[in-house]
Amino acid sequence: MDEFSLIDRFWKPLGDAVTHSEVIEGIGNDGAVVRCPPGQDQVMTMDTLVEGVHFPRDMPPHALGWRALAVNLSDLAAMGAQPLCFTLSVTLPEASTSWLAAFADGMKALAVRENIQLVGGDTTRGPLSITVQAQGLLPAGSAVRRGNAQPGDRICVSGSLGEAGEALNWLDESDTPDPAVDTALQRYRYPEPRLALGQWLREAGSAAVDVSDGLLADLGHLLVDRGARLDWQALPVSDGLVSLRGLEGARRLAASAGDDYELLFVWPGGGPAPSGPKGSALPLTVIGTVTEGAGVTLNGPEGSIQLEEQGYTHFGGHHD
């Protein structure tokens, strides 16, 4: 199958699964044409997933299709945007129809649920790698940015952290199925972009990032030139993760493993965690407070905790 039959068979039906009136030209031209409605700002983001770097070899293709879109939707969520459309670049070692069908199905399930239209892309042969470039809309001037935190503001996180990192450790070490890690594997393979929360945060005028590299690393990205005091015992971890790793192990993963795609945000002023969007069951937890100077301290019951692992970086700490 050449790339044109592949586009007709897999990408065009995916593009037809959602339609937006702002999309003037979708798949089929040299470029897509999208009209930004008056009074709206357009948010653009891009994330690449490379085999062996972002996902293990033999990742189930259905999950990979979902995940490639989900990590981009998570960036739209962190900005407070409503999803509109995306482009998709797929580099494949070979054109396996069963692999492609499962990949397209996984991506379609999330695209339809979150109402985001595939408007174009690129299909090439080479080492397996997926890039999605997503666009979203929000009322002009209302984007949720990084920075913007004041001393005394609360630092909050959605959901629970560490399970995706645990799933990766497990995939590294074992290939026999184990029901105890099913929930963790599901979280790694099918991240849930927190779109409703991100859009709700626009109103609060706070700052947000999604947790892709790890809590401590992404907190640095969120605060820019402020610091933070974090409460080790407040880090939200699931019961399932605690039973796999113990409370300390679970908190270590929560502090430094990435891949969870929760939202980490600043809530202005003191007080308890906000309740979140109306009707939402997603828990929000206060994990610390913004401080004046730079640097993050992690306070445990017996004083401050030093963690070697801070989060994921490409190219490590090596400099020429």
Ligand X SMILES: Cc1ncc(C[n+]2csc(CCOP(=O)(O)O)c2C)c(N)n1
Annotated binding site: 30, 45, 47, 54, 75, 121-122, 146, 210, 212-213, 259, 312
121 phi, psi to nearest 5 deg: 165, -155
Q: Which of 10, 103, 200, 312 binds ligand X (CB under 6 A)?
A: 312
Strand residues in 113-204 grouped as ranges (E): 117-125, 129-139, 154-158
Which of 114, 210, 213, 262: binder of Mg ion (CB under 5 A)?
Answer: 210
The item of Mg ion, ligand ATP, ligand X, none sharing an interface with residue 168, based on CB under 5 to 8 Å by kind, is ligand X
Minimum CB distance to ligand X, residue 140 (Å):
28
Which of 30, 3, 28, 4 lies closest to 125, judged by CA?
3
Residue 213 in the binding site for ligand X (CB under 6 A) = yes
| Region near Mg ion per CB under 5 A, out of 74-82, 156-164, 225-233, 312-320 | 74-82
Nearest CB to ligand X, comparing residues 105 and 309: 309
User: By the 8 A CB rule, do 114 and 50 touch?
Assistant: no
**Residue 86 sits in the site that holds ligand X (CB under 6 A):** no
**Stretch of residues binding ligand X (CB under 6 A), selected from 14-22, 53-61, 148-156, 244-252:** 53-61
Segment lying near ligand X (by CB under 6 A), choices 5-13, 54-62, 147-155, 283-291: 54-62
Q: How far apart are CA 130 and CA 65, in angstroms?
A: 9
The tokens describing 37, both together, are 């409605």
Residue from 74, 87, 135, 212 binding ligand X (CB under 6 A)? 212
Q: Which is nearer to Mg ion, 22 or 259 (CB)?
A: 259
100 or 130: CB nearest Mg ion: 130
- Cα–Cα dist 261/75, whole Å: 9
Pairing label, strands 82-92, 117-125: parallel
Q: State the nearest-atom distance from the C-beta of 259 to ligand X, in Å.
A: 5
Residue 200 interacts, among ligand X, ligand ATP, Mg ion, none and using kind-specific CB cut-offs from 5 to 8 Å, with none
Task: Give least dist CB 128 to Mg ion, A.
Answer: 23
Inter-helix orientation angle 215-223/239-256, to 10° = 50
**Alpha-carbon span 221 to 217, nearest angstrom:** 7
Interface residue with ligand X, options 13, 28, 37, 56 (CB under 6 A): 56
18-28 b/e (C-beta count within 10 Å ≥ 16 → b): bebebbeebbe
| Contact criterion met (CB below 8 Å) for 104 and 14 | yes
Strand segments (E) across 154-260:
154-158, 208-210, 227-231
Query: Could you list the residues that contact Mg ion (CB under 5 A)?
Result: 75, 210
Residues in contact with ligand X by the rule CB under 6 A: 47, 53-56, 168, 212-213, 258-259, 312
